[in-house]
Structure 1
Amino acid sequence: MGSCLSVTVARDRCYTRAFRAAGLRATDVTLGDGATVHIWVPRLPDRSRPALVLLHGFGATATWQWAPYLGPLLRAGFDLYVPDLLFFGGSSAPGPDRSESYQARCVVGALDAVGVGRFGLVGVSYGGFVGYRVAALYPGAVERVVLICAGVCLEERDLAAGLFVVSDVADAAGILLPQRPEKLRQLVRLTFCRPPRVMPTCFIRDYIQVMCRDYVKEKTELLHALIHDRKLPDLPRITQPTLIIWGEQDRVFPLELAHRLKRYLDENCQMVVIKNAGHAVNLEKPKEVCKHILAFFLDSGSPDIYNGHMVNLLSVLM
């Protein structure tokens, strides 16, 4: 299907326009090892405003994931920095490293290049895995962390134990990287608590062609790196105040993983479970998710983060 007739391309352009209308601009940062990070940054950055980094999940790009959140977060007084993770959108890397630690180092390298030294962080699903590593590797840079349906405490043995709807990485890749309409329908049913009743095949094929055909090999390798030999005792405990947000009906990362992470981080962590929502809680309940994000950053007990913008945060919440 030509791009002039593509519903997916049209939507992608709408999201891009929304980012530009919100005062953001896209830039490409080339790192020392040749990796390129495509990142949206403020057109007119204000260093007196707190920086907030938003990391998308596996099935999205920066613009598709975060467009609905721009208005409330900007009105709250944040400067937003929204990268495409490697092999999503406009970001890529020539080397073989597929770990979330490498993703984390590339995110921080890009932030450093655009002049951001300290920031809060919100990560959805795979973006939460990367965000967790950012917080672990750079504790002096990250103020607070929000993890949305991010199963960072999963173990490889959980697949064989039946915790997930898939039993191995190959099955997971077949669903998370859909190349056929029936696989995309399966993914939507899996991630949404209330999936759309009608999903026309022509639209599904268009979406797959535009959004799911690039970097399939590299994304499959990301999944392997994420899960292979993963053990909870190897996971570092982050020290920043952390908020866990989870959809009660999540079938990708079951709610048990939220409770496991809460126990692992202990008193340093808060948890919110949102009813009538699945893994795509950020899309199904955006207003509720955004409310919890803002309330968490407002309740920091560290006024220097906000530099006088607490009034803005209060006005958004009320």
Structure 2
Amino acid sequence: MCRCFSFTESKNWCYRSAFARSGLQSTVTDLQDGTHMHCWVPKHPNHSKPNLLLIHGLGANAMWQWGHLVPHLTPHFNLYIPDLVFFGDSHTTRPDRTESFQAECVFRVMEAQSVRKLSLVGLSYGGFVGYSLAAQYGDFVEKVVICGGGVSMEEKDLSEGNFFRVSDLEEATKILVPQTPQMLKKLMGFTFFRPLLLGLLPSFFLSDFIHPTLIIWGEHDQVFPLELAHRLKRHLGDNAELVVIKNSGHVFFVEKPKEFYKHLKSFLLDPHPNLIKHTSMAQNHN
């Protein structure tokens, strides 16, 4: 009997093949507490390369968000790409749902892989996890890149409707973790700058944070609006650089991948990043 075609499984197969060709292998780490973490790791780590942790945002799994960048990054870095708990092939029986718990799980996987130092990039929700990881395990993390992750958001931003176009935390959760095609469409409406993309779909540790940090944001981000990026930059001061990707939304890494990669590579590979640069100067480079 012929099996039905699955677009999702087909795409997963393509990404798995691409990751394998890039020198990565799939691993699952048992954390011995009811938690199992899936992570893509180098088959043969090159100790002359820096280690880079890529933390995905909300979505099916890590491959879907990092697949297009992996071939460009593997020549320069030892890549570690986990599925966060509750995504992809990572799961737990523990009741904890916080980004602090996610950060702890990722750290324990890196320990199991004998990683002692790394830089990290966090997309959207992954920015929350990455920020928490750097705050909890400061000596372990070298450089941090926060991409559209509203870590400076306060509860009043939702309740007062200052930024997010929903006024209720429960409603925000429903949008950011969509359970229906309708809610997925709504999320995509917030996520992309150009609404026509909807047609493609079927029916504060802040003051103590001392890591060199690159903040990258989409100019028209409607999930975590640009003001949150400026707020984070103000909190982090001269230790952070803000780059705004013009004419893009929350998923600027999909809409403007070449520009995203350019800034990422420059910051992570420059041994002496110029973090005194003002926000306006960073924007003028785009």
Global fold match (TM > 0.5): yes
Partner of 2:182: 182
Question: Mean Cα displacement is larger for which, 172-181 or 248-257?
Answer: 172-181
How do 1:99-248 and structure 2 match up within 5 A? 99-162=98-161, 163-195=163-195, 196=197, 198-199=199-200, 201=202, 232=204, 235=206, 237-248=208-219
CA distance in 2, matches of 1:9, 1:249: 32
Large movers: runs of 4+ above 6 Å: none
Q: How many residues align?
A: 270
Question: Matched residues, percent identical?
Answer: 50
Alpha-carbon offset, residue 180 of structure 1: 2.5
| 3-state SS in 1 of match to 2:80 | strand
Look up the equivalent residue of 1:271 and give its one-letter code: L
CA distance in 2, matches of 1:263, 1:127: 21
Look up the equivalent residue of 2:53 and give its one-letter code: V
| 3-state SS in 2 of match to 1:278 | coil
| 3-state SS in 2 of match to 1:250 | coil
Is the CA contact 1:237–1:264 (under 8 Å) kept in the aligned structure 2? no
Partner of 1:282: 253
Alpha-carbon offset, residue 32 of structure 1: 3.2
Is the CA contact 1:247–1:274 (under 8 Å) kept in the aligned structure 2? yes
Report which structure shows greater RCO (CA 8 Å, sep ≥6): 1
In 2 relative to 1, CA 3–188 (structure 1 residues): closer, same or farther, beyond 3 Å?
farther
Question: Mean Cα displacement is larger for which, 43-52 or 242-251?
Answer: 43-52
Look up the equivalent residue of 2:77 and give its one-letter code: F
State the superposition RMSD in angstroms: 1.7
| 3-state SS in 2 of match to 1:5 | coil
Partner of 1:34: 34
Deviations 1:110-156 (A, max 9, x none): 00101111001000011010000111111111110000001001011
Look up the equivalent residue of 2:59 and give its one-letter code: G
Partner of 2:229: 258
CA distance in 1, matches of 2:201, 2:30: 39
CA distance in 2, matches of 1:60, 1:127: 13
Alpha-carbon offset, residue 60 of structure 1: 4.0
Partner of 1:94: 93
Is the CA contact 1:136–1:236 (under 8 Å) kept in the aligned structure 2? no
Partner of 1:220: none
CA distance in 1, matches of 2:141, 2:94: 26
Unaligned runs of 5+ in 2: 274-286
Partner of 1:224: none
| 3-state SS in 2 of match to 1:151 | coil
Alpha-carbon offset, residue 235 of structure 1: 4.5
TM-score norm. by structure 1 comes to 0.81
CA distance in 1, matches of 2:228, 2:97: 23
Alpha-carbon offset, residue 258 of structure 1: 0.1
Deviations 1:247-306 (A, max 9, x none): 00000000000000000000100000001100011111111111101000122329xxxx
Is the CA contact 1:175–1:184 (under 8 Å) kept in the aligned structure 2? yes
Alpha-carbon offset, residue 200 of structure 1: 5.2
Look up the equivalent residue of 1:113 and give its one-letter code: A
Is the CA contact 1:3–1:9 (under 8 Å) kept in the aligned structure 2? no
Alpha-carbon offset, residue 14 of structure 1: 1.1
Unaligned runs of 5+ in 1: 205-231, 303-318
